[in-house]
Amino acid sequence: MSALFEPLKLGNIQLNNRVVMAPLTRCRATEDNVPTELMATYYAQRADAGLIIAEATMVMPGNSAFYREPGIHSDEQVAGWRKITDAVHQNGGKIVLQLWHGGRACHPVLNDGKTPVAPSALSINGYVHTPQGKKDYVVPQALNTEDIPAIVKGFVKATINAKAAGFDGVEIHGANGYLIDEFLRDSANIRNDNYGGSLENRSRLLFEVLDGVINVWDSGNVGLRISPINSSNSMRDSDPEALTRYLAERLNDYQLAYFHVMRSDFLQKQQGDVLSVASHLYHGNLISNMGYDYAEANDAVGQGHVAAVAFGSAFIANPDLPYRFEHGLALASPNPKTFYTHDSQGYTDYPKAEEG
């Protein structure tokens, strides 16, 4: 049997295979950030993945960084997600929810004029798409120390809601230039209090969130994703290997379901081998992501470097990606023009191999 198709237990979550669907923002929720029936169809189509990591989902209101991304902070959102988890489970799949605070990537136009918050008053270089067109990112408000406990409580409440919505677990979003990642990396965090400076201080928010989350859901149902060298959203770190080393060693005490490491940079501006650092030091289930084909992923799992591999864009155009891998079939290519649109085109209309 191919290594990718061996079963795997991630903490309390039993997987049928090691082909993981990475979290992918697709903007198909309602304008009120409620998950839709269309999203239920989309995720159910991909239930053959060993694990689906659902898209970045707002833990608190007023922190939208995309137009029509989902939330998990209201009863209506919980009910919408429940339809999705039921559909995935009915098709034999497992699904966890990625919990997310957009930080300085949020925009006032998307949040009733509210200024975004971040560790420091440093803006992203670039623009965001809004219903009013492209808008430059704004300078965020630096969080006061006394405001941080409310952020932690937001993640805790979102975890309670995710459990009520029927998810198999949650993934804390510590990647890609959003709030937790902004605290972790020194390009976005120039604080001089207990949340800035040293690796211990910069990771303080992350571990406060983890402590709060595993207090309401066993650590075997909780994962974490990081991206130490991804430069999206104007991010970088002066020593990403040291950051990875610090996190991997501390996370060994948490017995998480998994540690999810994005090994490279979307924009190819930064280099580094953070995956080897994590693989060497982390004793639990390690998931890697970014740029894998079937052969490399199968080899990485077979050699024991990682427990599973997460695939992103390949799952967009190939709802039956594990089947195609297993049978050596060619992969369809996704249409980037429909990644962030709001209807079924380029979302639920990609055929499975036996349907094409």
Q: Where are the beta strands (DSSP E) in 74-207?
A: 95-100, 117-118, 127-130, 133-136, 141-142, 169-174
The catalytic residue among 178, 258, 294, 350 is 178
Q: Which of 209, 166, 168, 170 is nearest to 78 (CA)?
A: 166
With beta carbons less than 8 A apart as the criterion, state whether 69 and 56 touch: yes
Rounded to an integer, what distance in angstroms lies between the CA atom of residue 153 and that of residue 155?
Answer: 5
CA 197 to chain centroid: 25
Q: Which of 55, 233, 27, 37 is nearest to 131 (CA)?
A: 27
CA 177 to chain centroid: 11
Measured in Å, how far apart are the chain's first and last C-alpha atoms?
Answer: 27
Q: Is 178 a catalytic residue?
A: yes
Quote the DSSP letter at residue 15: E
Three-state secondary structure call for residue 178 = coil
Active site amino acids:
178
